[in-house]
A = this chain, B = another copy of it.
Amino acid sequence: MPPIVAIRDLARFVGEQVTLQGWVTHRRSKGRIAFLVVRDGSGNCQAVASVQDVSADQFEQLARLTHESAVRLTGVVREDERAPGGFELQLAGVETVQLAEEYPIGRKEHGIEFLLDHRHLWLRHKGPWAVMRIRDEIVKACRDFMYERDFLLIDSPILTPAACEGTSTLFETDYFGAPAYLSQSGQLYVEPACIAHGKVYCFGPTFRAEKSDTRRHLTEFWMIEPEIAWAGLDEIMALAEQMISHIVARVLERRSEELAILERDTTKLESVTPPFPRLSYDDVAERLTRPDIVARAQQAGAPPFQPGSDLGALDETILGEMFDRPLIIHRYPTAVKAFYMEPDPERPDRALCMDIIAPEGYGEIIGGSQRIHDHELLARRIDENGLPEQAFRWYLDIRRFGTVPHAGFGMGIERLVAWISGARHTREAIPYPRTLRRLYP
């Protein structure tokens, strides 16, 4: 029996007989010669048989193979520059494991909704295959980055008794008679843990029952949230900048084949190195109220930016396009940001917070802040925001027993994946997207 080999390992078997197990993506016959291309998850390989190489029955099998049929192919590996992947299999045997029914995804263009209805099959295709491999690399790069810098993983709970930032966008469930909500962020849970371990992070799915139906929104998405004791805004801006640069460099290094499949312009990724531009909210507000920018927003039909308010999606797009790398915007007005953010001591109507906007129109990928560590101030903010103090008692506790300045941020993985891989929608950046209109498959 020849060894069963993955297509990615073919280079080690040139001149030898091997067996490949895979699925047919192309087939054509030219009289007495048949060509197949198979994929096996690790790569693609062309296989060739002339009528005398295999039995008559097997040659007939080859002619009948449909798209996505499962096959076991045996043959000798040959180097061939013209073949996809650089190697070709000279067939000596063919076994049809299953002849696929007529495959619903054809060569023609399908709309995104049709493709997502068939996501369980569409995952097999070149584009999604490459994006998922980039996603895998990004997630692993995040975790390696944290591990190597002594950040401890603290998984935060999904089922929570109270809302971190209001209840309007929460999914609710019955928890043995009491209401529970799906977590929007693990931040409240990593804060106590950073007092225990110094540097921690959580990394899991988070949920927003938002009625937004844009190409940037998912109702379920993954987020990594580092939290550091004895740190402030400067430390987390530096950490975020290093982390994003590290991830982009690693994808460029280890997933170049996938970026090429996606026809990603990698020169735009190569410029992603520290330092990132840093603008204060006030700098940004000044830019967004320039006549030419106002005119542009009006043309796009978006409401013009109002100084003092939060940034809109179009504002983020416009700002993102001004720079060749992610843009850090810091010190937003306290009034438009979350209750737990530390006010800037030099200007208390501004929060010690930052957002990072991806270039090329991918919007906000990071939001973070220094957290209020004073018990009295935090209790007042909880009260002013009409939040239930009882539910936040444990969170306030952290300010009673050894409270110290601490800071952290959350980075949304799907937007990062979409940006780095150049996908048009965030829904292409997660295996099974969940949106306002989609819970299937």
Q: Which residues of A contact B (CB under 8 A)?
A: 4, 6, 8, 21, 23-24, 40-42, 68-70, 97-98, 100-101, 103, 118, 120-121, 123-124, 128-129, 132-133, 135-136, 139-140, 143, 147, 150, 152-161, 171-176, 178, 180, 182, 189, 192-199, 204-205, 207, 209, 211, 219-220, 222, 229-230, 394-395, 397-398, 400-404, 430-432, 434, 436-437, 439-441
How far is it, in angstroms, between the C-alpha of A118 and the C-alpha of B197 when the chains are bound? 16
Q: Which residues of B contact A229 (CB under 8 A)?
A: 21, 41
Q: Distance in Å from the Cβ of A230 to the closest Cβ of chain B? A: 5
**Could you give 6 example pairs across A and B, Cβ below 8 Å?**
A68-B402, A121-B397, A123-B192, A129-B197, A132-B152, A154-B431
Q: Distance in Å from the Cβ of A378 to the closest Cβ of chain B? A: 13
Q: Which residues of B contact A40 (CB under 8 A)?
A: 198
Q: Which residues of B contact A180 (CB under 8 A)?
A: 171, 439
Contact of A158 among B41, B158, B194 (CB under 8 A): B158
Asked if B402 and A100 sit within 8 Å, CB to CB, the answer is yes
Q: Distance in Å from the Cβ of A218 to the closest Cβ of chain B? A: 10
Residues A41 and B100 in contact in the complex (CB < 8 Å), given A192-B121, A230-B21: no
Q: Distance in Å from the Cβ of A400 to the closest Cβ of chain B? A: 5
Contact of A171 among B147, B173, B402 (CB under 8 A): B173
How far is it, in angstroms, between the C-alpha of A229 and the C-alpha of B42 when the chains are bound? 12
Q: Distance in Å from the Cβ of A66 to the closest Cβ of chain B? A: 9
Asked if A404 and B101 sit within 8 Å, CB to CB, the answer is no
Closest 4 pairs (CB-CB, A-B): A41-B198, A394-B441, A120-B192, A70-B402
Asked if A159 and B192 sit within 8 Å, CB to CB, the answer is no
Asked if B121 and A176 sit within 8 Å, CB to CB, the answer is no
Contact of A199 among B41, B173, B209 (CB under 8 A): B41
Q: Nearest CB to that of A199 among chain B residues?
A: B41
Asked if B152 and A23 sit within 8 Å, CB to CB, the answer is no
Query: Which of A139, A204, A441 counts the most chain B CB atoms within 10 A?
Result: A441
Asked if A434 and B155 sit within 8 Å, CB to CB, the answer is no
How far is it, in angstroms, between the C-alpha of A21 and the C-alpha of B129 when the chains are bound? 47
Q: Which residues of B contact A103 (CB under 8 A)?
A: 401
Q: Distance in Å from the Cβ of A423 to the closest Cβ of chain B? A: 16
Asked if A68 and B401 sit within 8 Å, CB to CB, the answer is yes
Asked if B120 and A140 sit within 8 Å, CB to CB, the answer is no
Contact of A133 among B152, B211, B397 (CB under 8 A): B152
How far is it, in angstroms, between the C-alpha of A153 and the C-alpha of B189 when the chains are bound? 25
Residues A155 and B222 in contact in the complex (CB < 8 Å), given A192-B120, A193-B431: yes
Q: Which residues of B contact A152 (CB under 8 A)?
A: 41, 132-133, 136
How far is it, in angstroms, between the C-alpha of A229 and the C-alpha of B439 when the chains are bound? 26
Q: Distance in Å from the Cβ of A185 to the closest Cβ of chain B? A: 14
Residues A120 and B398 in contact in the complex (CB < 8 Å), given A41-B229, A70-B403, A133-B152: yes
Asked if B189 and A432 sit within 8 Å, CB to CB, the answer is yes
Contact of A101 among B171, B175, B197, B400 (CB under 8 A): B400
How far is it, in angstroms, between the C-alpha of A152 and the C-alpha of B255 when the chains are bound? 13
Q: Which residues of B contact A194 (CB under 8 A)?
A: 41
How far is it, in angstroms, between the C-alpha of A402 and the C-alpha of B133 when the chains are bound? 22
Residues A401 and B173 in contact in the complex (CB < 8 Å), given A140-B143, A157-B434, A189-B432: no
Q: Nearest CB to that of A221 among chain B residues?
A: B155
Q: Which residues of B contact A97 (CB under 8 A)?
A: 402, 404
